Structure 1
Amino acid sequence: MTVSPSRVDAQPTASALGFGLAGVIGFSLTLPFTRYAVPAFGPELVGPGRSLPAALFAVALLAVARRPLLPPPRMLPSVVVVTVGAVVGFPLLIAHALRSVSASHAAVVIALLPAGTAIMAVLRARERPPMVFWLWCAAGTALVAGYLGFAADSRFGIGDVELLAAVLLCALSYAEGGVLSRRVPGWVITCWSLLAGVPAVLVIVVVTGVPSRAELTWGAVAAFGYLALGSSLLAFCCWYRALADGGIAKVGQVQLLQPILTMIFAAVLLGERLDPAMIPVGLAVGVTVFMAQRARPAER
């Protein structure tokens, strides 16, 4: 499956940017709500397990729209890539990481996601990036590594390894989903990926179960409900639609807002203290990612 140069180079429309912003706002709430729900439900259920109720809605959407429940065989490998990254890997790793790092700290690491998405888009489309592209990406990586090494709120640990692995898997799934969404509507890709992940998620949930000392509250239940429908379904429907309509690299710039929005939501919803260094680091990383995407290579 190749990417049309005209679609890649086209200027994003207001509609594409609007869908992209809606998706980013939805994603920005994921970390605070995940941290809120993990003590009650455990990282496995809050992470990949939240896709199970979302899959039920996906079946209903596909049935109403008279779409097949499974992708055609030629698209199945790509859908599996999206599933492994966005449905299983990213939520599970993030939920585990948030047991040892704050949502604000995680937001700074996840600021690497737009650069990772752009790199995966380059590799997926077999483009030749100029040296300046890689220099800006290296600058962003150095900023995040510096923050992790010298930030006052934590040391580099297993939580940061999990976050970096989550970024890698999510970037791959974003690029693959964006390419798929050029042929099939983004909401269909989202539904297919949720359904494809059901067997693996069921195994994880059955094996791990719910924490024996879980303290269920209405707030925790509401947080889990948002993660199931907002983060796992609606946000991805908007995001893949935006990537398909406006281009993976260009619309990915909208995601530069995500770390700052996450920090704000974490402060409002969780009462987390905003580390004074987090905002300038997040903004600086955003600048490097923006410049890296502007240096997006030409097609062969």
Structure 2
Amino acid sequence: MRTQSSATTAPSITVTAPRERPGFGGTLQAALGVTAFSLTFPATVWGLEGFGPWSLVAVRSVLAAVIAGFCLLLLRVPLPDRRHRAGLAVVAAGVVLGFPLLTTLALQTSTTAHAAVVVGLLPLTTALFSALRMGTRPSRTFWVAALAGAGAVLAFTVQQSGGALTAADGYLAGALLVCAAGYTEGGRLARVMPGWQVIGWALVLCLPLTVPAAALALSFEPVSLTAHGVAGVLWLAAGSQFLGLVVWYRGMAAIGIPRASQLQLAQPLLTLVWSVLLLGEHLTVAAPLTAAAVLVCIAVTQRSRS
């Protein structure tokens, strides 16, 4: 006869800690980068009040490189591996030199609303560069939503500028291509090294070019140290050129280049908001309608799987 044990075994209880939403941290960092970038065009307009176009680009790059170099020295970061230096050169050519120079030249004759067409097309171009460079294959739903969002932003920005193409469009088209290449290569490198080191070394790599360029440009172009001019160049150096790219590359490494790039669909609309607040520009009733369409497209691209 079997004897039952008087002790009863209590049922085990498993406590599961709350889990962070997958990719939330990366999405947040990429969104912070987009917010920083959205101030770039208004800050450039401010900077042009005190500097010439060549001086503005060179000085902002030198200041950003000083900030980055100080951080690299303070933390005793070793030199990047030789195999990463070609990629850093692409980042430097695209986001440190090419995009700032071409957009600054364009903003001499173009409004911020018209120049925002570059940012509206940049997510799609970045996704295309990513597919070619890294072999990523986003889903069909992703591409449909990306094209719809880019189309909505393009239609809005063209309508804002009166539908006429300007001489600055050549600069903007070139800026679009070099920036997409720099974003793609930077996002790839941020998977194997910290994102802030990617842009940090790219900035330092450009110093042999930017320091002489700054000295030469400042000797030929007049400088007027207005409050707007100084504030503009400081934001371009610290915010757009360094800190914004730090969180942007970290975000791309965490959630992937195609998905992170689609967050930039909101950048032209943010730029227009800053243009109203900082530059006194006026928006049409199309702005909230486009904003709603863009937010829907962003939601779809974030949920679609590769």
Same fold (TM over 0.5): yes
Deviations 1:52-107 (CA, angstroms, capped at 9, x unpaired):
01111111111121112x42211010000000000000000111111111112222
- Which residue of 2 is the match for residue 196 of structure 1? 205
RMSD: 2.7
CA distance in 1, matches of 2:153, 2:138: 22
- Which residue of 1 is the match for residue 13 of structure 2? none
What are the residue-to-residue correspondences of 1:162-181 with 2, within 5 Å? 162-181=171-190
Task: Classify 1:250/1:146 alpha carbon distance in 2 versus 1 (closer, same or farther; 3 Å).
Answer: closer
| 1:267, distance to aligned residue in structure 2 (A) | 0.6
For residue 63 of structure 1, the aligned residue among 51, 62, 73 is 73
- Which residue of 1 is the match for residue 232 of structure 2? 223
The one-letter amino acid paired with 1:122 is A
Q: Find the residue that maps to 1:40 and give its secondary structure.
A: coil
CA distance in 2, matches of 1:100, 1:134: 33
Contact 2:52 2:222 in 1 (8 A): no
The one-letter amino acid paired with 1:222 is A
CA distance in 2, matches of 1:286, 1:165: 27
Task: Classify 1:295/1:33 alpha carbon distance in 2 versus 1 (closer, same or farther; 3 Å).
Answer: same
Q: Specify the structure having the higher radius of gyration (Cα).
A: 2
CA distance in 2, matches of 1:166, 1:293: 26
- Which residue of 2 is the match for residue 237 of structure 1? 246
Q: Find the residue that maps to 1:231 and give its secondary structure.
A: helix
| 1:205, distance to aligned residue in structure 2 (A) | 2.8
The one-letter amino acid paired with 1:257 is A
Task: Classify 1:141/1:111 alpha carbon distance in 2 versus 1 (closer, same or farther; 3 Å).
Answer: closer
For residue 47 of structure 1, the aligned residue among 57, 79, 82 is 57
| 1:120, distance to aligned residue in structure 2 (A) | 1.4
Task: Classify 1:249/1:12 alpha carbon distance in 2 versus 1 (closer, same or farther; 3 Å).
Answer: farther
The one-letter amino acid paired with 1:80 is A
- Which residue of 2 is the match for residue 8 of structure 1? none
Task: Classify 1:246/1:103 alpha carbon distance in 2 versus 1 (closer, same or farther; 3 Å).
Answer: same
Query: Which TM-score applies when normalising by structure 1?
Result: 0.84
Structure 1 residue 268 and structure 2 residue 271: aligned? no
What are the residue-to-residue correspondences of 1:134-173 with 2, within 5 Å? 151-153=160-162, 155-173=164-182
Query: Mean alpha-carbon deviation: is it higher for 130-139 or for 27-36?
Result: 130-139
CA distance in 2, matches of 1:232, 1:124: 24
Structure 1 residue 35 and structure 2 residue 45: aligned? yes
Task: Classify 1:63/1:145 alpha carbon distance in 2 versus 1 (closer, same or farther; 3 Å).
Answer: closer
Q: Find the residue that maps to 1:183 and give its secondary structure.
A: coil
- Which residue of 2 is the match for residue 246 of structure 1? 255
Contact 1:140 1:289 in 2 (8 A): yes
CA distance in 1, matches of 2:218, 2:68: 23
The one-letter amino acid paired with 2:241 is S
- Which residue of 1 is the match for residue 96 of structure 2? 87
Task: Classify 1:248/1:141 alpha carbon distance in 2 versus 1 (closer, same or farther; 3 Å).
Answer: closer
Query: Which TM-score applies when normalising by structure 2?
Result: 0.82
What is the count of residue pairs matched by the alignment?
286
Contact 1:104 1:274 in 2 (8 A): no
Contact 1:97 1:162 in 2 (8 A): yes
Q: What fraction of aligned residue pairs are identical, expressed as a percent?
A: 37
CA distance in 2, matches of 1:160, 1:133: 28
Structure 1 residue 123 and structure 2 residue 122: aligned? no
Deviations 1:225-264 (CA, angstroms, capped at 9, x unpaired):
1111111111111111111112112222322221111110
